């Protein structure tokens, strides 16, 4: 059993994406958020 459901995880990511748009993630401290918030599309 997971601590949070997939729906809750998606909601959290959506909130974080609003707070940290891709354009603002340009410093070293924020770069580790990029793969989490903006993953590469899967083929």
Question: Looking at the domain assignment, is residue 33 inside a domain?
Answer: yes
Give per-residue pLDDT as tens, 1-11.
Answer: 678 788 998 99
Encoded tokens for 19 = 């707070």
Question: Looking at the domain assignment, is residue 21 inside a domain?
Answer: yes
Domain count, the chain: 1
CA distance 7 to 11: 6
Q: Please tell me the predicted confidence (pLDDT) of residue 14.
A: 93
For residue 26, give its domain range.
6-37
Q: Please tell me the predicted confidence (pLDDT) of residue 1.
A: 60
DSSP string, 1-43: --SS-HHHHHHHHHHHHHHS-GGG--STTTGGGHHHHSPPPP-
* CA of residue 8 relative to chain centroid, distance: 13
Using a cut of 0.85, tell me whether the model's pTM lies above it: no
Give per-residue pLDDT as tens, 1-43.
Answer: 678 788 998 999 999 889 888 887 777 677 788 888 888 877 6
Phi, psi of 33 (to 5 degrees): -80, -25
């Amino acid at each position: 059993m997971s601590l949070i459901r997939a729906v809750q995880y998606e909601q959290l990511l959506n909130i974080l994406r609003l707070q940290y748009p891709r354009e603002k993630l340009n410093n070293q401290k924020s770069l580790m958020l990029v793969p989490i918030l903006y993953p590469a599309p899967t083929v």
